[in-house]
Structure 1
Amino acid sequence: MSKFILPLVALLFFISESLFVTLFSGELYNSEQIFVPRFIMVFLVFLTIYGSRKMGVIYGFILGLLFDAVYTEILGIYMFLFPILCYLISKAMKVLQTNLFIVLIVSVLFIALLEVAIFEVNVILHFAEMSFSEFVEVRLLPTLILNLAFTILAAFPLKLQMEKFELETRED
């Protein structure tokens, strides 16, 4: 039964991103700010740090492929970025301490890397019509604030779940 909990948690995060965008769209509140939930990335950060690098990369690939297939016009951006970022997170955590404050900083940093990388790909493909400074003001900062708040709220339960998962996989 415990083997199904991690995929269910991943699916919950995947669905919660879509629900958040639907319920809290900036257009509903006449806001220019774009709040992009990156709950899947938060999940992958915690899985990679408190679980294992291998599972982080595998889940990154699967969730990236699913994300690309459902939400994006270009297949492969998230499928490529999620596993690469999980790998880089695992390398960074070999140098850094694994406490919740550092994990919060790492998650916000890697969400920023994800956002900038996606923005740059969209600029290269001529899908983005805004300047980088406008991107930072309108999309990046609101997105980082939103995801920092979410990470603070979800950090302790996620940490416990990932540590429990890692302990169960070691026993098997």
Structure 2
Amino acid sequence: MIRFLLPALFALLFILESLFVELLPAELFNSDRILVPHFLMAGILFLTAYLSPKHGILYGIIFGLLFDVIYTEIIGIYLFLFPFIAYLTANMMRILQTNILIVSILSLLGIALLEAGVYELMLLIKITDLDFSTYVKIRLVPTLILNLAFIILLLSIKKTVRKCCRQT
């Protein structure tokens, strides 16, 4: 039963991203900002840092392909970026300490790298025409704030679970 817990958790994160976009549209806040949840990427980076780099890269490949097939018109953007960022995070974790602050910062940097990579590829193939400063103001900063809130929520859940497990 425990073998299926991790894939089920990542499937839940995958579904939660699309539910978040559907249930909390940006118009709700009367703003032209674009909020992009990358809960799955944050989960993959936490998996890479705390459990196993091999599993993080493998989940990056699987869910990157799934993400490309379901959400994008170009196969390969997320298929390449998810495992690549997990690989970079794994190599950074060899150098840095594995504590909550470092993993959170690396997760935000990974999400920023993912966003920048997708933006640059979309700019390269002429799907978007936003200049970089507008992109940073409208999409990158709100996305990082949203995902920072998710990471803080994830960390608070982790601490709560840890406290409950110690008390029993």
State the Cα RMSD in Å: 1.5
Distance in 2 of aligned mates of 1:160 and 1:60: 27
Distance in 2 of aligned mates of 1:130 and 1:7: 36
Distance in 2 of aligned mates of 1:149 and 1:18: 17
Residue 149, structure 1, aligned to residue 149, structure 2: yes
Task: Decide whether aligned partners of structure 1 residues 158 and 66 sit closer, same or farther in structure 2, where only a CA change above 3 A counts.
Answer: farther
Partner of 2:166: none
Q: Map 1:20-169 to 2 at 5 A.
A: 20-157=20-157
Deviation at 1:75, TM superposition (A): 0.6
Distance in 2 of aligned mates of 1:144 and 1:26: 15
Q: TM-score, with normalisation over the residues of structure 2? A: 0.92
| SS of residue in 1 equivalent to 2:144 | helix
Task: Decide whether aligned partners of structure 1 residues 52 and 156 sit closer, same or farther in structure 2, where only a CA change above 3 A counts.
Answer: farther
User: Are the aligned partners of 1:46 and 1:158 in contact in 2 as well (CA < 8 Å)?
Assistant: no
Which range is displaced more, 51-60 or 149-158?
A: 149-158
Q: TM-score, with normalisation over the residues of structure 1? A: 0.90
| SS of residue in 2 equivalent to 1:73 | coil
Distance in 2 of aligned mates of 1:113 and 1:71: 19
Deviation at 1:49, TM superposition (A): 0.4
Structure 2 gap ranges (5+):
162-168
Deviation at 1:29, TM superposition (A): 3.5
Q: Between the two structures, name the one with larger relative contact order (CA 8 Å, sep ≥ 6).
A: 1
What's the % identity of the aligned pairs?
52
